[in-house]
Amino acid sequence: MSDFDFDLFVIGAGSGGVRASRMASSYGAKVAIAEESRVGGTCVIRGCVPKKLLVYASHFHEDFADAAGYGWSLSEAHFDWKTLIANKDREIDRLNGIYKKLLAGSNVELIEERAELIDRHTVSVGGKKITAKNILIAVGGWPQKPDVPGIEHAITSNEAFHLPELPHRVVVVGGGYIAVEFAGIFNGLGAKVTQLYRGEQILRGFDDDLRHFLADELRKKGIDLRVNSDVASIEKTSAGYRVTLEDGSAIEADCVLYATGRRPKTDGLGLEAAGVELGRDGAIKVDAYSKTSVDNIYAIGDCTNRVNLTPVAIKEGMAYADTVFGKKPWPMDHTTIASAVFSQPPLGTVGLTEAEARRQYGAVDIYKANFKPLKHTLSGRDERTLMKLVVDRASQIVLGAHMVGLDAAEIIQAIAIAVKMRATKAQFDQTVAVHPTAAEEFVTMRVPEPDPAA
């Protein structure tokens, strides 16, 4: 019998922590998990899931309009924000319940309290001291806002899910995943949206062709996307808020949403007391197996600031459980991870961008397809799709696949298998198309773009 209360104590019941705790328990470990907020974490409670429900809600606006080209006539449509939020909350409650049941069914003891480390084997939780042989930190991240005068008037994505009314005029600050997604949500629901990004082009780090293409599509949909725009101050006015920009111009708004990145939620966790080293921005330093600077303490997910995506945290949790409790050690592979931005139209991406591929491989072949999706021939909507393959010229291995357009997230998930397997362009070409789809373009692109170096 162990000298500790538990074999494993997990701090944070988000996607990563829950998966790791259940797997460790399945290997016979006695496991407890602490959560100070709601079980499910960012993704389920205030991130991916409610966000995607809001994206669906906002897309109906276009769907109703598009139906006309197909012969449908509809009486005027009305949208009710309160109904949407109540229904969304009910679904999140249901998922929260499922997560709790999963923990109970896996014999993981759930402690709904904040936990802090006292030393490498002891946590303080709900006024009690609990000891554990192993500790896993999976506390996630939290939105961060820059220090701008009046920033207290701005909300983050956390609050955006609980606004009492749909704002009529929204200013979204940022050019990353969350900013682009929420700009699309509010725009689709009928708000006047201004999106401000400080750099040259939104979605830094994504393939440049996709960034420019998506920016054009967002503008066509009515989002007032302004690049090279910095906020100088935010003031409360009798009618709402005034956002003054560095160039002296001002925008009136009912809601100012900052989506300027997230920070590991590691403050006040007692990490220093336990000897756990932190890197820049409060991220926990870990090795390839997610082990921290202390042998019995591991960390997974956004609090390690590696690749901040839910499925990554889940896989890191699985690697942890297999490694420490399953006698099957494996390091998480952070290469070639597909992701999607649920913009409207959505963006899907896997593997290297053209710029990264040129840097790493030198000569590359680029294939592109830019077309109007079949659906929009009759709807008349001016929305296009861009698909792109990045191929290593020497080996003909497909290094990256990128897409903006209808169903991009769904399509890129399947293409990601081929890219992860290092399929060649010839193998893509041997694959018979499914017709008529947009996805078939990924296996029918034959002529590379002219080589800029030739």
DSSP assignment string, 213-257 = HHHHHHHHTT-EEESS--EEEEEE-SSSEEEEETTS-EEEESEEE
Apex CA 208: angle with CA 339 and CA 43, to 5°? Answer: 25
107-166: contacts with ligand NDP (CB under 6 A): 146
> Contact between 38 and ligand NDP (CB under 6 A)?
no
Nearer to ligand NDP, 177 or 320 (CB): 177
Integer Cα distance of 36 and 426 in angstroms? 52
CB-CB contact of 316 with 298 (8 Å): no
270 closest CA partner among 111, 142, 115: 115
> Contact between 341 and ligand NDP (CB under 6 A)?
yes
State which of residues 204, 220, 359, 372 lies at the interface with ligand NDP (CB under 6 A): 204
In the stretch 260-299, what mask flags binding to ligand NDP with x, by CB under 6 A?
xxx-------------------------------------
184 closest CA partner among 52, 321, 360, 83: 52
Nearer to ligand NDP, 229 or 290 (CB): 229
Integer Cα distance of 310 and 301 in angstroms? 8
User: Interface with ligand NDP by CB under 6 A: which range of 12-20, 176-184, 241-249, 373-381?
Assistant: 176-184
CA distances from 28 to 1, 318, 366 (A): 13, 15, 50
> Contact between 408 and ligand NDP (CB under 6 A)?
no
User: Interface with ligand NDP by CB under 6 A: which range of 191-199, 249-257, 369-377, 446-454?
Assistant: 191-199
Nearer to ligand NDP, 50 or 400 (CB): 50
Nearer to ligand NDP, 173 or 419 (CB): 173
State which of residues 339, 344, 349, 379 lies at the interface with ligand NDP (CB under 6 A): 339
Nearer to ligand NDP, 157 or 292 (CB): 157
3-state secondary structure at position 49: helix
- Greatest pairwise CA separation for the chain in angstroms: 72
Tokens of 330: 């494996």
User: Interface with ligand NDP by CB under 6 A: which range of 20-28, 172-180, 275-283, 393-401?
Assistant: 172-180
3-state secondary structure at position 331: coil
Let me know if 402 is a catalytic residue: no
Label each residue of 1-18 as H, E or C: CCCCCEEEEEECCCHHHH
Measured from each CB, the residue nearest to ligand NDP is 176
State which of residues 340, 350, 401, 445 lies at the interface with ligand NDP (CB under 6 A): 340
State which of residues 179, 223, 321, 408 lies at the interface with ligand NDP (CB under 6 A): 179
193 closest CA partner among 215, 165, 226: 226
- Phi-psi sector, 79: left (phi>0), alpha (psi -120 to 50), beta: beta
Nearer to ligand NDP, 188 or 326 (CB): 188
Q: What pairs with residue 387 in β-bridges? A: 369, 403
Tokens of 232: 């100088």
Closest approach, Cβ 308 to ligand NDP, in A, equals: 3
Give the contacts of 448 (CB within 8 A, at least 6 positions apart). Answer: 365, 366, 367, 391
State which of residues 28, 105, 149, 199 lies at the interface with ligand NDP (CB under 6 A): 199
User: Interface with ligand NDP by CB under 6 A: which range of 76-84, 171-179, 422-430, 431-439?
Assistant: 171-179
> Contact between 308 and ligand NDP (CB under 6 A)?
yes
Query: Which residue's entry shows tokens 């910095």?
Result: 230
245-264: contacts with ligand NDP (CB under 6 A): 259-262
Nearer to ligand NDP, 24 or 170 (CB): 170
Nearer to ligand NDP, 132 or 148 (CB): 148
Count residues near ligand NDP (CB under 6 A).
23
342-401: contacts with ligand NDP (CB under 6 A): 342
> Contact between 404 and ligand NDP (CB under 6 A)?
no
Closest approach, Cβ 322 to ligand NDP, in A, equals: 24
251 closest CA partner among 266, 263, 234: 234
Catalytic annotation, pick one of 59, 168, 402, 435: 435
Closest approach, Cβ 2 to ligand NDP, in A, equals: 37
Helix, strand, coil proportions of the chain in percent (round to 5)? 35, 25, 40
Closest approach, Cβ 96 to ligand NDP, in A, equals: 20
Tokens of 83: 């109904």
Which residues form the interface with ligand NDP (CB under 6 A)? 146, 173-179, 181, 197-199, 204, 259-262, 308-309, 339-342
Which residues belong to the active site?
A: 435
